[in-house]
Structure 1
Amino acid sequence: MSAPQTPEVLWAQRSNATEPAKNFIYLTINVPDVQPSKMKLQLKPQGLSFAGHSDSLKRTYQVDLEFYAEIDEKESKINHTAKSVEMVLRKKELKAEFWPRLLKDDKKYHFLKTDFDKWVDEDEQDEAPEDDFGGMGGMGGMPGMGDLGGAGGDFGGIDFSKLGGAGPVEGEDEDEDEEDEDEDEEMPALEGEEEVGSSSKAKITEV
């Protein structure tokens, strides 16, 4: 078996000194085609450990993160998709200031990147749209306080059996039908062809 790969990790954040729900970290671990039964995520106040395997890609992923500051794992949320594991991690300490970085260690890591789709500057976050976490399952009350190994995890009610083998793309059948109809139509006569055909008929009539 090949050595585990470190998956790409994207992150962004919000901060708030008075409202806990607006004081959190966005964290996405990109691990395509890793089924819930093939992954284990342990979330702790100081960090997380993730391991997963993709049968289709024949690839094993593993990453351990130690956060800059503590999070409240019971108030954090998770959503598993066919491409990634998305998390909203509640910061434990209420502060108006951003964390200066995600990890305790200030080293540069090649796998850790800013999630520019979710990032806003610290002085502009009040203008950012409200975040909707309705599709994310809560972490509280789960075995091992965030241990998502096997089928015990709450992944927001997603039916993973429907993730693969998707049906045809909308409009695809219609395009094929139109192509078939086009093939059935007679090709238009080339320039001069009609006249030749007419004169030939005329000659036969004369005979």
Structure 2
Amino acid sequence: MSRHPEVKWAQRADKVFITVQLSDSKDANVNLEPEGVFSFSGTAGTGNTHYELKLNLYDKVIVEESKINVGVRSIFCILEKAEKVWWKKLLRGDGKAPHYVKVDWDKWVDEDEDKGAGDLDLGGMDFSNFGGMGGMGDMMGGMGGMGGMDEFEDSDDEGQEATKPADKAEGDAKLDEHGAGTSEKKEAEAST
């Protein structure tokens, strides 16, 4: 018996982002058809549980310009819409979306705030094209994991207050040749 993995989605006027949440997936197979059919199958877990899903997307997509990244924790896809318009929902039909399909609020942008995918931080993911592959089964083997996670490390600046020269006495607001005020230099020297 197969199970459905959790799927998160978001969109822009020209793209749909689909993330299949499945850690340590094996034998991942993703297929995208121009009519807007997205299918996934693969195994995961210690018992090699089989997962699969088939989504009839709201509208058509351009397979050749769509991209995929198979990572350690998920399979992330950027699907290029055939028409650059906002979809009312992810899936075709009048029914409610299945319980395993959820909105990806981390990637979601409202229609009036859409500036394209340029504002989405993809964290250095290694993408390959769907196009020209005749399905994704052949290309799943050697995909790289998700990179660029350095930006999420804790900052050394936590707990330090920022001060403005305008908030200080007139004599303290003088800047040296490096742009630091005398009081900032004293604070910096004291903290080291």
Identify the TM-score tier after normalising by the shorter chain. 0.5 to 0.7
Give, in whole Å, the separation in 2 of the partners of 1:127 and 1:54: 33
Q: Distance in 2 between matches of 1:128 and 1:40?
A: 25
Q: Percent identity?
A: 36
Q: Does 1:136 align with 2:114?
A: no
Name the one with the larger helix percent.
1
CA–CA distance in structure 2, aligned partners of residues 128 and 137 of structure 1: 17
TM-score (norm 1): 0.62
Matches within 5 A, 1:21-170: 23-35=14-26, 38-45=27-34, 46-54=36-44, 56-95=46-85, 98-108=86-96, 109-126=98-115, 130-131=119-120, 135-142=126-133, 144=134, 147-149=135-137, 152-153=138-139, 158=144
Within 1, Cα distance between the matches of 2:5 and 2:132?
A: 27
Structure 1 unaligned segments of length 5 or more: list them: 16-22, 161-169, 171-207
Q: Which has the larger radius of gyration?
A: 1
Root-mean-square deviation (CA, aligned residues, Å) is 2.6
Q: Match of 2:115, SS?
A: helix
Amino acid at match of 2:19: T
Instruction: Indicate the residue corresponding to 2:5 in structure 1.
Output: 7
Q: TM-score, normalised by structure 2?
A: 0.66
Change (3 A) 1:124 1:43: same
The letter for the 2-side match of 1:33 is: D
Alpha-carbon shift at residue 40 of structure 1 (Å) = 1.6
Aligned length, in residue pairs:
143
Range 64-73 or range 127-136, more displaced: 127-136
* Superimposed CA distance per residue, residues 88-116 of structure 1 (whole angstroms, 9 cap, x where no aligned partner): 00000123xx1000000232210110000
Give the Cα separation in 1 of the matches to 2:104 and 2:64.
Answer: 24
Deviation at 1:155, TM superposition (A): 7.8
What amino acid sits opposite 2:113 in the alignment?
E
CA distance in 2, matches of 1:118, 1:158: 22
Q: 1:129 to 1:43 in 2, by over 3 A?
A: closer
Whether contact under 8 Å (2:64, 2:131) holds in the other structure is: yes
Distance in structure 2 (CA, Å) of the matches to 1:127 and 1:91: 12
Which consecutive aligned stretches of 4+ in structure 1 deviate over 6 angstroms post-superposition?
none
Cα deviation for residue 156 of structure 1 reads 8.4
Match of 1:182 in 2: none
| Distance of 1:72 and 1:128 partners within structure 2 | 16
